[in-house]
């Protein structure tokens, strides 16, 4: 899985977006396969694909992408709604996804995280050492994710492979910042699944506290309310996923397995 995701990022597989351009790696003497084409004078004979040559009846050369380092960046939503959960908080699951993303780093790769709207990018470290330095920090701010996105757009370089992890509750309010990032970077987003997606374990009159504004409310929860809650959770995920993809950001839902979610984002995006 790790190798396939890294190869996809090196090849800059990015959804097509009108006006956003499409980043293209340079064909060179690297190790990532780009395409087959007819042999021309000056080609390295070691790149001749003899199986393809036999099929076509003419010499075929394997063209490779230039081997170059990645700039892996992560922005995690640290707002109050991400601090709730059952066994683990939504933020803890988001952090796992960020760790899996930065875990793709190797060699001369650069790593960065937006933490409390500041860019953490250890200049003296590369590859896995840089990833560990970034993961040693945790977001403490409980502000809006919009602030994180604005800082990310201002501080992360345009060639970054960027992972965004949030519940995306306010997807329409975030759309402007997300669109700006999609035009600058190769973006992947994971939508954190509601902790009670599998079933709201409440019944009768209950007192609930809003994670964002801390206000408490006394509500009745019955079978109809539980069904409506699950339908609303599923609809929120679908709307957020469609909106992100429309902005040119590959997207998938994050449950408990971060690696599976990343694979799904690339497979579906």
Q: Of 15-24, 59-68, 215-224, which range is least confident? A: 15-24
Q: How far apart are CA 65 and CA 45, in angstroms?
A: 17
Q: Which two tokens stand for residue 261?
A: 């979610």
Question: What average pLDDT does range 10-36 have in this prediction?
Answer: 51
Q: How far apart are CA 6 and CA 28, in angstroms?
A: 18
8 pLDDT band, cuts 50/70/90, is confident
Report the alpha-carbon angle 194-200-204, nearest 5: 145
Question: What average pLDDT does range 194-206 have in this prediction?
Answer: 83
- Asked if 71 and 157 count as a contact pair (C-beta separation under 8 A), the reply is yes
pTM over 0.85: no
Q: Identify the burial level of 79 via C-beta atoms within 10 angstroms of its C-beta, where 0-12 means exposed, 13-18 middle and 19 or more buried.
A: buried
Q: Each residue of 118-174: pLDDT tens digit?
A: 888 888 898 999 999 999 877 766 668 898 899 999 999 887 999 999 999 999 999
pLDDT, mean over the chain: 84
Please state the φ and ψ torsions of residue 34, each to the nearest 5 degrees.
Answer: -110, -55
For residue 261, the model assigns a pLDDT of 95
Concatenating the DSSP letter of every residue in 179-191 gives: HHHHHHSEEEEEE
Q: How many helices (H) and strands (E) does the chain have?
A: 8, 11
- Asked if 113 and 72 count as a contact pair (C-beta separation under 8 A), the reply is no
Among residues 117, 158, 116, which one has the least CA distance to residue 20? 158
- Higher pLDDT: 22 or 11? It is 11
Q: Each residue of 60-74: pLDDT tens digit?
A: 988 765 445 789 999
């Amino acid at each position: 899985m790790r190798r396939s995701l890294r190869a996809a990022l090196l090849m800059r597989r990015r959804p097509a977006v009108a006006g956003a351009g499409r980043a293209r790696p340079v064909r060179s003497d690297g190790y990532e396969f780009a395409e087959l084409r007819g042999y021309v004078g000056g080609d390295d004979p070691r790149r001749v694909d003899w199986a393809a040559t036999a099929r076509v009846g003419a010499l075929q050369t394997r063209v490779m992408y230039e081997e170059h380092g990645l700039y892996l960046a992560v922005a995690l939503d640290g707002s109050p709604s991400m601090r709730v959960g059952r066994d683990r908080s939504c933020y803890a699951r988001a952090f796992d996804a960020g760790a899996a993303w930065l875990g793709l780093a190797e060699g001369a790769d650069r790593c960065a995280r937006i933490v409390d709207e500041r860019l953490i990018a250890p200049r003296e470290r590369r590859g896995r050492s840089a990833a560990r330095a970034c993961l040693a920090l945790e977001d403490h701010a409980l502000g809006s994710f919009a602030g994180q996105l604005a800082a990310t757009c201002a501080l992360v370089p345009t060639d970054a492979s960027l992972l965004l992890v949030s519940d995306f509750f306010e997807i329409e309010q975030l759309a402007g910042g997300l669109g700006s990032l999609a035009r600058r970077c190769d973006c992947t987003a994971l939508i954190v699944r509601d902790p009670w997606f599998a079933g709201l374990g409440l019944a009768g009159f209950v007192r609930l506290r809003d994670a964002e504004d801390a206000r408490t409310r006394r509500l009745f929860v019955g079978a109809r309310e539980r069904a409506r809650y699950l339908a609303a959770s599923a609809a929120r995920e679908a709307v957020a996923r469609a909106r992100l993809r429309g902005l040119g950001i590959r997207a998938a839902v994050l449950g408990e397995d971060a690696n599976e979610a990343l694979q799904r984002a690339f497979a579906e995006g």
